[in-house]
Amino acid sequence: MIASGVVATTDVVEACTGVNIAVMVGGFPRKEGMERKDVMSKNVAIYKSQASALEKHAAANCKVLVVANPANTNALILKEFAPSIPEKNISCLTRLDHNRALGQISERLNVPVSDVKNVIIWGNHSSTQYPDVNHATVKTPAGEKPVRVLVANDEWLNGEFITTVQQRGAAIIKARKLSSALSAASSACDHIRDWVLGTPEGTWVSMGVYSDGSYNVPAGLIYSFPVTCCNGQWTIVQGLPIDELSRKKLDLTAEELSEEKALAYSCLS
């Protein structure tokens, strides 16, 4: 029988010993008057030490999900300093953005969110992310129909829809003076569940994973892609047509991630 219980600890060795799944929620938030480099150097230090602890003490098959921002780059630093953890086992959270995109479409069409699928969040978990509905569908009595056809408003889909998803975190902070912590927690559970137990047939989700050059995204970045999961492994969905507008947006968020990577590495030297 598996023993159940909670161990609350401030001891990094006790926390990391033998873990199979590590969800990294600690990071240094940007405060007023801080430059990006200040935030980055603090997070680089945090993720360097967390990575070293996981490297020494975690289970060999440990899966890591980084939630704390800048999530993609924090995950990249962690990968750098935990070389024995396979790159396929290090990911960052863009499921919150993915779920927000599904929510916006379900609200717009007045359908259950469970009937909408296959939106994509491309790139960085930041305001340059690209929420893409070009391949998304909705379950209707007459079968699955493309979101673009049902919404029938490209101006909204290419404009307000994208900015709403991109800026949602900031809008929530503005409205309640607190971040959307519970939404992030719920999305982290979704991310881990699908990664471990698999995605439903015909459905993909968004995960920040190590780029292999798919869709001409520079290799070596942690970038959000559409993925399917099976037997505890994710696979990037291949062969989706990318139109001109999407190409520009994929490249823009990749550029930001390349800049963040360079900034992070400059903090290391």
Strands (E), the chain: 21-24, 63-66, 90-92, 116-117, 120-122, 130-132, 137-140, 143-146, 205-210, 222-230, 233-236
100 is in an annotated binding site: yes
User: 8: annotated binding-site residue?
Assistant: no
Q: Which of 7, 48, 6, 4 is nearest to 26 (CA)?
A: 48
| Alpha-carbon 143 to chain mean position | 30
Q: Identify whether 191 is a catalytic site residue.
A: no
Please confirm whether the linkage preceding 218 is cis (ω < 30° from 0): no
Task: Point out the catalytic residue in the list 98, 125, 135, 191.
Answer: 125
Cα gap 27→70, rounded to integer Å: 8
The answer to the question of whether 30 is labelled as a binding residue is: yes
Say what angle helices 71-81 and 36-57 make with each other, to 10 degrees: 40
Indicate the burial class of 132 (C-beta count within 10 angstroms; 0-12, 13-18, 19 or more). Answer: buried
Contact 96, 54 (CB under 8 A): no
Residue with tokens 């379950």: 139
CA distances from 180 to 26, 96, 119, 169, 184 (A): 15, 10, 21, 7, 6
Distance between first and last Cα of the chain: 48
| Residue 67 annotated in ligand binding | yes
Tell whether residue 99 is among the known ligand binding residues: no
Which SS3 state, helix, strand or coil, does residue 232 take?
Answer: coil
53's tokens: 């602890």
Which residues does the annotation place in the binding site? 30, 36, 43, 67-69, 100
Which residues does the annotation place in the binding site for substrate? 30, 36, 69, 100
Residues annotated as part of the active site: 125
Which residues does the annotation place in the binding site for NAD(+)? 43, 67-69
